[in-house]
Amino acid sequence: MHEMSIVESLADAVRRHLPKGARLVRAMVDVGALEHLDFMVMESAWSGLTTEPPLAGAELVLRRVDIRARCGGCGKEYVPPDPAWMVCPDCGIARPEIVRGAGVTLMSLEAERKEGDA
């Protein structure tokens, strides 16, 4: 269900950004590791939600973005080994500001002119 609502929002965003008269070939999407989104479920939701042109048959390309945090103590950036272990390797406290790895971002679209269009 979580994946379905995200993919619905994604399909809406794609429709808004797709050039007029173009057919979508693939959509490139960055998915933060903190989102706990299952890629297979997302792909299945995408197939179910994109049965009509101009999105029909288009590929959803998902890229997982690892978590990166900035320490609230020493200010250094670090990659936690696990989301449940946010302790700064330099100063040993856990006051992370997440700088990467949260959110879902539509990065780009690959599209082509529909057949018959000039």
Partner 1 sequence: MNVRVVENVRKANDEVASLNRREFDRQRVFCVNLMGGPGCGKTSWLERTLEGLAGEATVGVLTGDLTTTRDADRIARHTEHVAQINTGRGCHLEAHQVREGLDLLDLEALDLLVLENVGNLICPVAWDLGQHARVAMFSVPEGEDKPAKHPWIVLAADLVLLNKLDLLPYVPFDMEVFRRDLASVRDDVALLEVSAARGDGFDAWLRWLRAGMLRFSLSRAEARA
Judged by the rule CB under 8 A, the positions of this chain that interact with partner 1 are 1-2, 4-6, 9-10, 12-13, 17-19, 22, 29, 34-36, 72, 83-87, 93-96, 98, 102-113
Which CB atom, from 90 or from 112, has the smaller least distance to partner 1? 112
Pairing state between β 59-65 and 68-71: unpaired
Which CB atom, from 56 or from 93, has the smaller least distance to partner 1? 93
Q: How far is the CB of 106 from partner 1 (least distance, A)?
A: 5
Which CB atom, from 56 or from 105, has the smaller least distance to partner 1? 105
Q: Are 14 and 55 in contact (CB under 8 A)?
A: yes
Residue spans of alpha helices (H) in 1-118 = 2-17, 39-49
d(CA 35, CA 100): 11
